[in-house]
Amino acid sequence: MNEAFIYLWYVAATKMYYLGVHNGNDPYYTHSSRSSEEFRSIIPHSQRPIEERKEFWRKYLTGEIKGIRYRRLPKRIILEDGTDYEKMCKREHELLVNRKNRCWNRYYNESLGDPRYVDMSGENNPMYKHGLAVGTKHDPARQALYDKSPKRAAWKREYGLSSKRKKYKRDWARSKIARIRAEAQGVGTLEGFLG
């Protein structure tokens, strides 16, 4: 069995990176990013046909592809004893959290690791924003800070209190109520059959 390792891709055209982990079994492995379409268009996904990946690696190794770099991270950076895949996944998560805290906008990664080995709740959730995971109740204190932000204040000045916005909301509410009443009375549901 081959050793698991952590690797790093760099795309010079976008000045962005992709950090991943591989179990070492597939010699033509490229990456397993499921989220970044831009990255997948530059470097073929590992679920693409093997011929496509072989051709990509051949071009990369002969220097036909310019502006893309690939490297395995050295063991001194990984700081792990052994090359167990699960340990590598946990170390990848630590490295991605570090990158998220420092320069996440320079990475194609959209998650913080493999959900089989990393708890994806809280801050590890890719949908986690502003201190709360999407879909959870908002903290009133945090919401108050958000409402006072200059960006939010500018939005409110332009859209939030305008008479045009109020009229739109009023008309929308009226049409929704009318639609609900019509459906409750059966109008609209049988028209196609009776008319």
pLDDT of 189 over the 80 cut: no
Residue-wise pLDDT tens digits, 149-159:
777 777 777 66
Return the higher-pLDDT residue of 160 and 93: 93
DSSP calls for 128-165: EETTEETTSPPPHHHHHHHHTSHHHHHHIIIIIS-HHH
Give dist(CA 32, CA 109) in Å, integer. Answer: 10
Return the higher-pLDDT residue of 133 and 65: 65
In the chain, where are the structural domains located? 5-117, 149-194
**Rounded to two decimals, what is the model's pTM?**
0.60
Residue-wise pLDDT tens digits, 97-136:
888 888 888 888 888 877 777 766 666 665 555 454 444 4
Phi, psi of 21 (to 5 degrees): -130, 145
How many residues are present in the chain?
195
Residue-wise pLDDT tens digits, 72-102:
888 776 665 556 788 888 888 888 888 888 8
